[in-house]
């Protein structure tokens, strides 16, 4: 897989409806994972979208998630740039340069879904997410 760069939108509690709306406009395949799929299925917010991805026939990729319970949501500041792929060396290099002189909110490390993932804000205030796909067996 080649590394790719795409927008990642944050929502309060309506990422599913927004992504379905965008799918109706652009077409394509929508995949959704909820917080409950990777944690307590009975917890507040378990049915909220932890990660959603729309891939369109024209090559657009749009990702989105709901804000987890307990975290603040600020409309208007709810976009990040996502770097994802399976070239760990390349993506770790990007991470190192993006997070240098910035603020790390989630360290780049293995996550409950099996991938390495991290979130940071670069020195210019731009929010970045890096996801390194786990090796496939």
Note the pLDDT tens digit of each residue in 51-69.
999 998 888 899 999 998 8
Q: What percent of the chain has pLDDT over 70?
A: 98
**Per-residue pLDDT at 109 exceeds 90:** yes
Q: Is 86 exposed, middle or buried (0-12, 13-18, 19+ CB in 10 A)?
A: middle
What is residue 15's DSSP assignment?
Answer: H
Within 10 A of 111 (CB to CB), how many other CB atoms are there? 15
Within 10 A of 84 (CB to CB), how many other CB atoms are there? 21
- Strand runs labelled E in 22-78: 29-34, 49-55, 61-66
Q: Residue 96 has which token pair?
A: 């190192």
* pTM for the full predicted model: 0.69
Of 44 and 88, which is predicted with more confidence? Answer: 88
Chain Cα centroid distance, residue 23: 17
CATH number of 4-132: 3.10.180.10
pLDDT at 117: 96
pLDDT at 28: 95
């Amino acid at each position: 897989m080649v590394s790719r760069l795409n927008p990642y939108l944050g929502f309060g509690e309506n990422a599913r409806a927004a992504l379905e709306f965008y799918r109706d406009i652009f077409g394509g395949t929508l995949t959704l994972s909820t917080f409950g799929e990777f944690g307590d299925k009975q917890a507040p917010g378990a049915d909220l979208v932890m990660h959603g991805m729309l891939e369109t026939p024209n090559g657009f990729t749009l990702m989105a998630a709901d804000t987890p319970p307990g975290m603040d949501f600020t409309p208007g500041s709810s976009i990040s740039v996502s770097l994802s792929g399976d070239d760990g060396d390349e993506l770790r290099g990007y991470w190192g340069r993006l997070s240098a002189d910035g603020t790390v909110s989630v360290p780049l490390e293995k996550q409950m879904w099996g991938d390495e993932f991290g979130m940071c804000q670069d020195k210019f205030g731009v929010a970045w997410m890096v996801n390194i796909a786990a090796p496939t067996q």
